[in-house]
A and B are shown apart, each in its own frame.
Chain A
């Protein structure tokens, strides 16, 4: 029996009269690589932000490590979950090292500066994401791909067991997209960190993740293995668009292309 790290039951969330999420239930097992897909406005980002408690309210229960989400202190929660927001080009006025070090916030008390372990964890996160050479660069001078890796490094420095990512590869060129996917896969397999990632890239979702959940209009329309997800009826249900499938010449896996 697999260990359940997140348990969501009958969860609904609305802003004003708009229902963003309608009565959804699913579990996330330890060590999974879960991709969440679905059209714009399906409620994916809202769900992720709710798990991190950036949003609060809503009906139903979410349990993280068997404890209801609202019983956590934020600092305690951040030792279990970390979150990489959607790239929004926001001004981050620190250099890379300083920014990644801020991932150690839950472990530092006021007036305390970074100790040996904090520095070690930051170095480890920089090394794992291959960003050590950027340490002294200002965040605002990084390219989109570099910036995304540093955000992931900062989340890793937080030493949490679950990593949430909101469209980590949007706005990136194909090479950096692959880099990030490979990095996430590597993090997932080498450290056992559970990954929940929102993406619009259905092919990489199918290729990298261990499970796919599709949301549409706030409801779950698919929850299963990537291979089952790459199916015309399923994709039509999600995106209301016909897809064609071709075989990847090397891996032999299905690739979906729009008609």
Chain B
């Protein structure tokens, strides 16, 4: 029994360390970049230097948006892995990120701009694109009973290719400016100006996250198997719909602004599971923080590695993620075993 208590403490410890680290990087990383900013420019008046401006209008929003995007994508990945009990289920492998990308590309190409309740049309289109993908992929599994997760992932990959072709088509018929905008955005971009994009994305990611934190008991049970979850009293049909809604919100909100940044959603939950186990009451907040920290660090590398040239962050995450993915495939069994719980394996 002591051991169980100790386990909980170490989970809380990891959570607290990540929380402190997250706060630290949100403050510190904006100082680092092509031009390092002296601390005095921020804490000593007069606050009208170029450095002050760079810090508050470029760097801080950028760090915020990286953090939110990382958190949202990581948490979505965690939910899909739990729901489908499959280590490679992510917003990308299930075609949901492509759906969101297609929605965004259609919005950009259409050239008409609108807002609903202060939310940009681009995010709404991305959200609708994400929902469309889920309908297609999951709808198939409902129509055709006995549809396995593997088949669903394959359907996701197929839909992903299909949507990517549509995006390429849209890009091909676009004019040069739109075309460049779409290409650059498809690589994953975090170079934003001012806080507006942050305010645009935050409601999506935060709403989605709260829903997911709220359903941590249900996620635990669904990880143990759908039959088990139902017999313990989880209305899995309803919970799945809510989770699809929450993840579509997050993926849509993130992809609309940052583009489809790959691998964060797959790597982060796996590493967090190795750290603290599968109990989603801890895993969800830890994954949220880890995803945010991970993408923010990747972005810092992206903008400083070959400065003054900035590498699109999607390239960095994919460079790290590709090998990780292969490692996952090769060592799948050991991942399954280790990713169980942090407690002592006999």
A interface residues, Cβ below 8 angstroms from B: 15, 49, 52-54, 73-79, 81-83, 85, 90-95, 97-99, 102-103, 105-106, 108, 110-111, 113, 135-141, 155, 158
In the complex, which residue of chain B has the Cβ closest to the Cβ of A88?
A: B225
Partner of B336, one of A78, A91, A105: A91
Partner of B3, one of A74, A81, A136: A136
Complex Cα–Cα for A54 and B278 (A): 24
Contact between B220 and A102 (Cβ–Cβ < 8 Å)? yes
B interface residues, Cβ below 8 angstroms from A: 1, 3-4, 85, 145, 213-217, 220-221, 223-228, 230-235, 273, 277-279, 281, 336-337, 339-341, 343-346
In the complex, which residue of chain B has the Cβ closest to the Cβ of A110?
A: B214
In the complex, which residue of chain B has the Cβ closest to the Cβ of A132?
A: B1
The 3 tightest CB contacts between A and B, nearest first, are: A78-B233, A83-B231, A75-B233
Contact between B230 and A53 (Cβ–Cβ < 8 Å)? yes
Question: With A53-B230, A74-B233 in contact, is A92–B341 under 8 Å at CB?
Answer: no
Contact between B230 and A74 (Cβ–Cβ < 8 Å)? yes
In the complex, which residue of chain B has the Cβ closest to the Cβ of A52?
A: B231
Partner of A15, one of B145, B217, B224, B343: B145
Question: With A94-B278, A94-B279 in contact, is A78–B232 under 8 Å at CB?
Answer: yes
Contact between A98 and B232 (Cβ–Cβ < 8 Å)? no
- Interface contacts beyond A78-B232, A85-B228, A98-B341: sample of 20 additional A-B pairs, CB < 8 Å, sorted by A: A15-B145, A54-B231, A75-B234, A85-B225, A90-B224, A92-B228, A93-B277, A93-B278, A93-B336, A93-B340, A94-B224, A94-B341, A95-B340, A99-B224, A102-B217, A105-B234, A106-B233, A111-B216, A138-B346, A140-B337
In angstroms, how far is the closest chain A Cβ from the Cβ of B270?
Answer: 12
Contact between B232 and A103 (Cβ–Cβ < 8 Å)? yes
In angstroms, how far is the closest chain B Cβ from the Cβ of A112?
Answer: 8
Complex Cα–Cα for A49 and B230 (A): 10
With a cutoff of 8 Å between Cβ atoms, the chain B residues found around residue A52 in the complex are: 227, 230-231
In the complex, which residue of chain A has the Cβ closest to the Cβ of B230?
A: A54
Contact between B340 and A140 (Cβ–Cβ < 8 Å)? yes
Question: With A105-B217, A141-B346 in contact, is A77–B341 under 8 Å at CB?
Answer: no
In angstroms, how far is the closest chain B Cβ from the Cβ of A160?
Answer: 9
With a cutoff of 8 Å between Cβ atoms, the chain B residues found around residue A102 in the complex are: 217, 220-221, 224, 228, 232
Complex Cα–Cα for A110 and B242 (A): 15
Partner of A73, one of B3, B223, B227, B235: B235
With a cutoff of 8 Å between Cβ atoms, the chain A residues found around residue B277 in the complex are: 93-94
Question: With A73-B235, A74-B233, A75-B233 in contact, is A98–B340 under 8 Å at CB?
Answer: no
Complex Cα–Cα for A108 and B341 (A): 22
Contact between B343 and A95 (Cβ–Cβ < 8 Å)? yes
With a cutoff of 8 Å between Cβ atoms, the chain A residues found around residue B343 in the complex are: 95, 136, 138
Contact between A85 and B227 (Cβ–Cβ < 8 Å)? yes
Contact between B233 and A105 (Cβ–Cβ < 8 Å)? yes
Complex Cα–Cα for A85 and B337 (A): 22
Residue of A74, A77, A108 ringed by the most chain B CB atoms within 10 A: A74
Contact between A135 and B1 (Cβ–Cβ < 8 Å)? yes
In the complex, which residue of chain A has the Cβ closest to the Cβ of B281?
A: A113
Complex Cα–Cα for A85 and B336 (A): 21
Residue of A94, A110, A139 ringed by the most chain B CB atoms within 10 A: A94
In the complex, which residue of chain A has the Cβ closest to the Cβ of B213?
A: A111
Contact between B344 and A105 (Cβ–Cβ < 8 Å)? no
Partner of A90, one of B215, B225, B341: B225
In the complex, which residue of chain B has the Cβ closest to the Cβ of A134?
A: B346
Ordered by A's residue number, 17 sampled pairs between the chains whose C-beta atoms are within 8 Å are A54-B227, A83-B231, A90-B85, A90-B224, A91-B336, A92-B223, A94-B224, A94-B279, A95-B4, A98-B341, A102-B220, A108-B217, A111-B214, A136-B343, A138-B343, A141-B346, A155-B231
Contact between B235 and A94 (Cβ–Cβ < 8 Å)? no
Contact between B225 and A77 (Cβ–Cβ < 8 Å)? no
With a cutoff of 8 Å between Cβ atoms, the chain A residues found around residue B85 in the complex are: 90-91
Question: With A111-B214, A136-B3, A137-B346 in contact, is A95–B341 under 8 Å at CB?
Answer: yes
With a cutoff of 8 Å between Cβ atoms, the chain B residues found around residue A15 in the complex are: 145
Partner of A93, one of B214, B217, B228, B339: B339
Residue of B278, B339, B343 ringed by the most chain A CB atoms within 10 A: B343
With a cutoff of 8 Å between Cβ atoms, the chain B residues found around residue A53 in the complex are: 230
